[in-house]
Structure 1
Amino acid sequence: MTKINPFLPVVLFLIFSLTTNAQDKSIRWLSFEQLEDSLATKPKKVFIDFYADWCSYCKKIDQTAFRDPEVVSLLNQKYYAVKMNAESNDTIIFDGQKFVNRSYGKKRNATHDIPLLLASRKNSPFSLPAIIVLDASFRVIDRYFEYISPKKMITILNSNSNTFAN
């Protein structure tokens, strides 16, 4: 009869714990292409962060709210999280439609079609940071156009996680 090392279960537990903790230390950001596949497999709410390299409040959210362990955990468990540079020149195919940055190279701070579609406000210019929360059917639940502290982000994520459940 083969003897099992008594420390084997402990070692396996520690390895599993470290792997689980490592996964929850950062947000699992998806591209729009990955989002479409994920929504088709398992419907879930969507959290989109539109940013630009020059946006100081976007950077502050990255350094504070998006590093908060509770925010990371909530986003990874209850949402599909997408992060997109609003000035990207990428061509994105989503839901069978092609989205581009029509103003790229024509004007300063040219904005891609996707943020313009999801984060435009009536009678207000497009501004960053822009955080959009959508239900699993891709309908807008909420939109934020300001710096959001970790505490406020936790409140937003908890309140919207039960809204429009599918």
Structure 2
Amino acid sequence: MKLLQYICIAILLMTGSLQAQERNEPAVNWLSFEQLSDSLTVRPKPVLIFFHTDWCSYCKKMLGETFKDPKVIEKLNSEYYAVEFDAESVDTVRFDGEIYASELKSKRTGKYHPLASILMGSKNRAVFPTTIILDTDFSMKFKKFNYLSIKQLLNIL
């Protein structure tokens, strides 16, 4: 069973890498929460979770600049699992043996996915982008509710 998990994780990680390699660009190996659960079971590592929304210009800037930097990519891919998640998603998410489902059928500004609300810890006031770093035991190591430059994120990592 463990061999099958290793194979599945390797295929998922290679898929993201191959898409970037086709353009000859390095890329962060973003995982879904479902993939994160499996990966943590096989090989515990710290986790970076990046919450964003479609309307957040600083979120787009981090995705387009900070997370495109080769040093950031190398550090994240080698030492962390990275999860990118739209906080206003209406998708059902399975994570850590639990199911997190939105009550909404379509995205709405200011209405956040239950998993995002739990992890961000801000039910009444959410600020984006939100970057969270969790230790291997899933304890909170770092939480920031604003734009992080390449230098700032590297210092945190």
Using the TM superposition, give the Cα deviation of residue 136 of structure 1 relative to its aligned residue in structure 2, in angstroms.
1.1
Q: Deviations over 1:98-124 (max 9, x none)?
A: 1122355596431001110011248x6
Q: Mark the CA change 1:91 to 1:151 in structure 2 (over 3 Å): closer, same or farther.
A: same
Q: Mark the CA change 1:106 to 1:58 in structure 2 (over 3 Å): closer, same or farther.
A: closer
Structure 2 partner of 1:120: 121
8 A contact 1:61–1:147 mirrored in 2: yes
Whole-angstrom distance in 2 between the partners of 1:105 and 1:24: 33
Structure 2 counterpart of 1:76, one-letter code? N
Whole-angstrom distance in 2 between the partners of 1:148 and 1:103: 30
Structure 1 partner of 2:130: 130
- Residue 36 of structure 1 pairs with residue 37 of structure 2: yes
Aligned residue for 1:101, secondary structure, equals coil
Aligned residue for 1:57, secondary structure, equals helix
Structure 2 counterpart of 1:84, one-letter code? F
Q: Deviations over 1:22-51 (max 9, x none)?
A: 497100000000000000000000000000
* Identical columns (%): 41
TM-score when normalising by structure 2: 0.80
Q: Deviations over 1:56-95 (max 9, x none)?
A: 0000111111011100000000000000000111111111
Structure 1 partner of 2:153: 153
Structure 2 counterpart of 1:73, one-letter code? E
Whole-angstrom distance in 1 between the partners of 2:48 and 2:25: 17
Whole-angstrom distance in 2 between the partners of 1:61 and 1:132: 14
Q: State the structure with more CA Rg.
A: 1
Whole-angstrom distance in 1 between the partners of 2:117 and 2:62: 21
Aligned residue for 2:126, secondary structure, equals coil
Aligned residue for 2:34, secondary structure, equals helix
Q: Mark the CA change 1:59 to 1:131 in structure 2 (over 3 Å): closer, same or farther.
A: same
Counting only pairs closer than 5 Å after superposition, residues 9-158 of structure 1 correspond to structure 2 as: 22=21, 25-103=26-104, 105=106, 108-121=109-122, 125-157=125-157
Aligned residue for 1:70, secondary structure, equals helix
TM-score when normalising by structure 1: 0.76
Whole-angstrom distance in 2 between the partners of 1:88 and 1:50: 10
Report the aligned-residue RMSD: 2.3
Q: Mark the CA change 1:144 to 1:104 in structure 2 (over 3 Å): closer, same or farther.
A: farther
Name structure 2 gaps, 5 residues minimum: 1-17
Aligned residue for 1:53, secondary structure, equals coil
